[in-house]
Amino acid sequence: MISHGAYDGPAGRALPFDLWRASLRATPKRVILPISDTVGDGVMTDVETRVAAHYGVADLVASIKAGLVAAGVDLAAAKPGDLKGVDEFHTGGLEATEALLGQLEIWRDMRVVDVGSGLGGTARHMADRHGAHVVGVDLTPTYVDAAADLSAMVGLGARTEFRIGSALTMPVKDEWAELATMFHVGMNIAEKGAMMAEVARVLAPGGRFATFDVMRMGDGDLAFPFPWAEEAAFSFVEAPQVYRRAADAAGLRLVAERERKDFTLDFFGRVFAAMKTAGGPPPVGIHLLMRGTGAEKIRNYVSAVEAGLIAPVEMIFEKPG
């Protein structure tokens, strides 16, 4: 299911999706986001506009379907697992998703918000494996469209819903979610305090927030591009203490934290070895999401992790009940 019709904004105005999409194409200075039940002014910032343009890829679903066919998948019988090479767009893919979600209790019909849901892989995983009802929120229209199409293709359209919106003004009611998740999104968000406050707003008392973000671990220059940003202007990689402080100020209590440097280097070691053996990337892989610069982005990322400058970190917070 996709929500991209007209929403009533805070002032009761109709804010149609098509208006936003058209203005994105024109890369304007200020854009009206389609929102409902949000805090904030509902206006897309310059950084958000650039982030959405960075991730936007034309003909995404067609290229994923072509990859599936090349991998021997019958599209009429495609399963959520067939998409895992491309729809978990974070370090470690499905392995990392399972590693973080395995530390949480997720039950049937649990209400979950996936912040920055991308192609919807993590949302579908929670719906498929646990029977959760997941609302994914993401800035990038092509990803939101693709997430809905892919969910429909694998029979998860009723348990997953994808909405266009900012992590800072989510189209989600106060205290709706029993769990919030966020994989590799905070690197595009400067306002960590506002980000945590918005998560706290949508979480029900007693609810948890689990994130897996790339964070700053040491001093030194970062060589761009990275998978989340072509340039420093829209990259906001911060140290774990920035996340902890922001969460604390939002009333979220840290219950677990784990740095994943070794896992990252091991994972990419296996990926590079498999690519060498196969003579290139698999037909369904995240290279489909990174235009022509995927290899350089991954190389820069792995080098920066190796050098101890950055690393992905898991954090789980709780909103007191």
Ligand X SMILES: C[S@@+](CC[C@H](N)C(=O)[O-])C[C@H]1O[C@@H](n2cnc3c(N)ncnc32)[C@H](O)[C@@H]1O
Give 16's contacts (C-beta < 8 A, 6+ positions apart): 5, 6, 34
Q: Are 2 and 145 in contact (CB under 8 A)?
A: yes
CB of 188 to ligand X, least distance (A): 4
Q: What are phi and psi of 3, to 5 degrees?
A: -105, 105
What residues pair up with 137 in beta bridges, in sequence order? 115, 163
Q: Are 208 and 235 in contact (CB under 8 A)?
A: no
Q: Considering beta carbons, is residue 81 or 206 the nearer one to ligand X?
A: 81
User: For the window 33-52, what string marks contact with ligand X as x by the rule CB under 6 A?
Assistant: ---------------x--xx
According to the binding rule CB under 6 A, does residue 143 interact with ligand X? Answer: yes
CB of 61 to ligand X, least distance (A): 15
Classify the phi-psi angles of 210: left when phi > 0, otherwise alpha if psi is within -120 to 50, otherwise beta: beta
Q: Under rule CB under 6 A, which residues in 177-196 are in contact with ligand X?
A: 183-185, 188-189
CB of 220 to ligand X, least distance (A): 22
Tell how strand 310-318 and strand 203-216 pair up.
antiparallel
Q: Considering beta carbons, is residue 114 or 318 the nearer one to ligand X?
A: 114
Report the alpha-carbon distance of residue 223 to residue 57 in Å, rounded: 23
Q: Considering beta carbons, is residue 176 or 183 the nearer one to ligand X?
A: 183
Helix H segments across 106-250? 121-130, 141-153, 192-202, 240-249
Report the alpha-carbon distance of residue 131 to residue 125 in Å, rounded: 9
Q: Under rule CB under 6 A, which residues in 211-240 are in contact with ligand X?
A: 228
Stretch that binds ligand X, among 155-163, 166-174, 239-247, 268-276 (CB under 6 A): 166-174
CB of 56 to ligand X, least distance (A): 8
Report the alpha-carbon distance of residue 257 to residue 210 in Å, rounded: 10
Q: Considering beta carbons, is residue 59 or 273 the nearer one to ligand X?
A: 59
According to the binding rule CB under 6 A, does residue 139 interact with ligand X? Answer: yes
Stretch that binds ligand X, among 66-74, 82-90, 215-223, 242-250 (CB under 6 A): 82-90
Q: Which residues bind ligand X (CB under 6 A)?
A: 48, 51-52, 55, 88-90, 116-118, 121-122, 137-140, 143, 166-168, 183-185, 188-189, 228
